[in-house]
Structures are given as C-alpha cells and as structure tokens.
Structure 1
Amino acid sequence: MEALPKTIAKINDVDIIVIENGQKLVPIKPICEALGILPQGQIEKIKNDEILASTIQLSYTVGADGKEREMFCLPLKFVFGWLFTINPKNVRVEAQESVKKYKLLCYEILYQNFADHTTFLEQKQKATQEQIDRVNEVRSTFRNAQHIVRQETNRLNSLKSLTFEQWLANNRQMTFDFMREAEAPVAALAIAVKQK
C-alpha cells in the first residue's frame, strides 16, 4: 500500500508529516533537521531505548524534493515522548526556546495527569462525606418529624374521643392547652377528670 503523507505540524518552517499506511508513522529525519540535530544520533538513541527500540521502523515516504525515500519512523503516539528526551542545549539556537517550552508543557501535562486523579479523589471524598452528613441530617429531621406526627396524631385521636362530660369538666371551654402538655394525652387527662 502506498504511504500517504499528511502534514501535522511545522518546526522551524519544516513540515512534520504523518505517513498513513495502515498506521500513523512520523519520519524522524525531518524533525531532527528542523531542530538542527543529527538524525543518525537520534536514531541510535531510539534504538538503544528500552521502549522506543521496539517501535522504530522503516517506511517509504515522499520527501520535500518529491522523491520517494525510505525513512526511520516512530508511531505517532511515541513521537511526543521521544521529543521530550531531546536536550534543548543540543538543538539549533533558534529552536532552543521552543524545545524548552515543549518540555515544560510535557511536565505540566504529566503533573496534571497524575495530580488531577489525586485531586479528583480528594474532591470526591470530601463531597461524599458532605453528602453523607446531609443524608444523616435529613434522616434525623425525618425521624423527628415522624415523632411529631405520631404525637400530633395521638392528640387528634384524643380530641376526637373527647366527650361532652369532659368538655363540661373543662368549664365548658374548647381550649386544648391541656392537650399540648408533653406526654400527657387527653385520654389520660380524661381518666383524671372522671375520678374527680
């Protein structure tokens, strides 16, 4: 299958291309030339790298001059890690600042990747505890409300069972202050009234 190059970035006005031939491969040489470092030195470094060595491969692509050439390539997902290993002191003077910025960006992204997970867990734990406290508060309020409903229901039932005689005994008044006393339902009071 013929390799189809596609420009994905520029470094010092040099096109950085991806070869789409079933997988995305990035030729090493154009990047090295753009940075002013020797391609062969980087290829050797990659070949000696425990991880990158198994990913480097030769692939044909069309060069800037329109001629097809075989070039050492890395899969796209490994290029960014390889670039991170390049020492800014070893690149062309005009590219040093860009390489430094790139490395700083990589450090920031690595930090975010690991720190964000920790931050997420901390925030989740805090929010979960706050919600547990809220649920417990609502449950407590609910239990108190149930208790109040039971008390008021008992008082209602006592009121419904209030007799004419009890009303007379209460000086013909329909005041129910006596029904509001804690733990003193009307039924108990009615018994006391009858015993007078």
Structure 2
Amino acid sequence: MEEAVGRPVEEQAEEKPAFTVTDKRFWVRKTAEDTSAPEAKPRSQYPTYVEQLKAQLEEKDRMLREHIERLSNENEAFRKRIEKEQEQLMSLYKGKLIEKLLPVLDNLERALASARETENFTALLEGIQLVYAQFLAQLKSEGVEPITALPRPFDPATDEAIGIEEVDDPSKDNLVLHEIEKGYLIEGRLLRPAKVIVGKRKEEESKAAE
C-alpha cells in the first residue's frame, strides 16, 4: 500500500484486483446464463433424415408403379401377338386341310357327272367307293381314323349307346350290334363317339342262367 501512495491514480486504476467475487445464488446465476446465451441459429435449409427417407420411398414407389405398368403393357401386347399368331396358324392349317379335300370333291363331281351321262348304277357305285376310299386316306394323313369295326364290346369311352336290343345269345350281351353313326379318333384321342345299338340279354334268361 505504501508503494501505491506515490504512484499516479491512472496506474492504480489499471491494476487488477487480487480476487474476484462470484454470486452463486441460483436465481442470479440462472438470469446471467439466460442473458449470456447465444442467439438461436436459423434452421438449416437441408432436409431432415426422415424427410430424406420419405422422398426416397416416394421415388421408389413411383418407379415401381411405372415398372408394373410397363410390364402390364408388355404382357398385353404379347398376349395379342400370340392370339394373332394362333389365328394365322389356324387359318393356314384350315387352308391346307381344305386343299387336301378338294380333290375328293372333284372326284365325287366326276362320278356324279358320269352317272348322269351313262345312267349306269354300277359305275356310279364304283365311283363313290373310290371317292370314299380317297376321303378316308386324306383323313388318315391328318391322324383321323374310324373306331374299330363291328363286332366289338361296348366301350363307354368311345361309344354312345342310343338304344338297346334284347338278345338270346349270351355272347352278344353288352356287344355293339349296330353302328348308327361311325365314331372317329384323332391321333389316338376321341374325336367323335360312335352312336350304337347295344345288345342286352333278356332278363328271364339271365336269371335262369344264374
């Protein structure tokens, strides 16, 4: 203190105090912290993580919808192309089949014309038989064959019974007796069943035999 007496007032004012006093009362400290808190920073302009995820999901959903729509259009175009090709193949097949049958029609017309000119029944019959054989040959070339000729056991897989005829002979029971309309197979599959009359043994004789 003695040294400070002789020094100017300005130098004494510049000297720092040897200690500081801090007010630790909580309400005073809280007020000081609030006043000294820095200003809030403005919100960032960049999207948040949730917003980024939402945008990504929306983009994926849009791409998925476009992909599904494109596949649907492609499938529809493919279906139409297949249908058109099938129609063209069917038309081509029909044309080839009819082309094979036209000679049969030509021969039938010749046979009828010859019969009119000569009035010969025998010649007409021979001509029709030739046409019939030619027609069967054309059908066979396409894989079509008639069902086995009579007599044969009744087969519900290939025969359609349109009538029953009682028989005395037990060997004719369930046997095809008459063929009203011939049946045909195509490549081993049934094309048309044969309409037939089936033999059935009389009930009296059947019971007596038992």
TM-score by length of 2: 0.28
Structure with greater Cα Rg = 2
